Amino acid sequence: IKEVQQIKHGVPALDMFTEAIHCDPRDHRFYGNRSYCYWCLDQYSSALTDAQRSIDLAPDWPKGYFRKGCALMGLKRYSEAEKEMEQVLKLDQNIKEASSELITCQILQLTVRSFIPNEFKSDTSSRATITSFPVPGRSIF
């Protein structure tokens, strides 16, 4: 479904927001919306650039941080994405999507974390669980 939406709406919307930016390069919403278009097209680096521009123009706009966090997740930069989602919630605690994405960032960090062999016993009677992995200063629940 996402692929169909990208083909039907992604490129024309991208062109529309690019034109809007040419008309008013100081409107943070245009950069935020174009960031979303890039994200839909899996162009995460471009999505990140536009999200950062929207934040530069409007540092109190939570959606800019949300867009940046989503772009960072697309780039698999989960620790940075987590910080952006936390910033969204500092600005507006009622954005449910940010709460959900924050938890996703934390889970993905645990999933991709490299295991250091000496941290765990090689004894199979002592199996590691997700709660046994150290995550300094963080809790996912």
Check pLDDT > 90 for residue 3. Answer: no
Report how many domains make up the chain: 1
Whether 124 is covered by a domain: the verdict is: no
Whether 140 is covered by a domain: the verdict is: no
Whether 134 is covered by a domain: the verdict is: no
Determine what percent of the chain is predicted with pLDDT higher than 70: 73
Question: Could you list the residue range(s) of the whole structural domain that residue 42 is in?
Answer: 2-111
Going by pLDDT thresholds of 50, 70 and 90, the confidence category of residue 2 is: low
Lowest mean pLDDT among 6-10, 23-27, 42-46, 133-137: 133-137
Check pLDDT > 50 for residue 124. Answer: no
Whether 95 is covered by a domain: the verdict is: yes
Whether 123 is covered by a domain: the verdict is: no
Terminus-to-terminus CA distance in the chain, angstroms? 31
Q: What is the pLDDT of residue 129?
A: 45
What would the mean pLDDT of 60-64 be, rounded to a whole number? 98
Lowest mean pLDDT among 56-60, 83-87, 89-93, 136-140: 136-140
- Region for residue 128 given its phi and psi (left: phi exceeds 0; alpha: psi -120 to 50; beta: otherwise): beta
pLDDT digits (tens, 9 = 90+) for 12-44: 899 999 999 999 999 999 999 999 999 999 999
**Residue 104: strand, helix, or coil:** helix
Whether 9 is covered by a domain: the verdict is: yes
Residues near 135 by Cβ (< 8 Å), separated by ≥ 6?
106, 109, 110
User: What's the mean pLDDT when you consider all of the chain?
Assistant: 83
What would the mean pLDDT of 116-131 be, rounded to a whole number? 47
Whether 77 is covered by a domain: the verdict is: yes
Check pLDDT > 70 for residue 138. Answer: no
CATH number of residue 91's parent domain: 1.25.40.10
Whether 34 is covered by a domain: the verdict is: yes
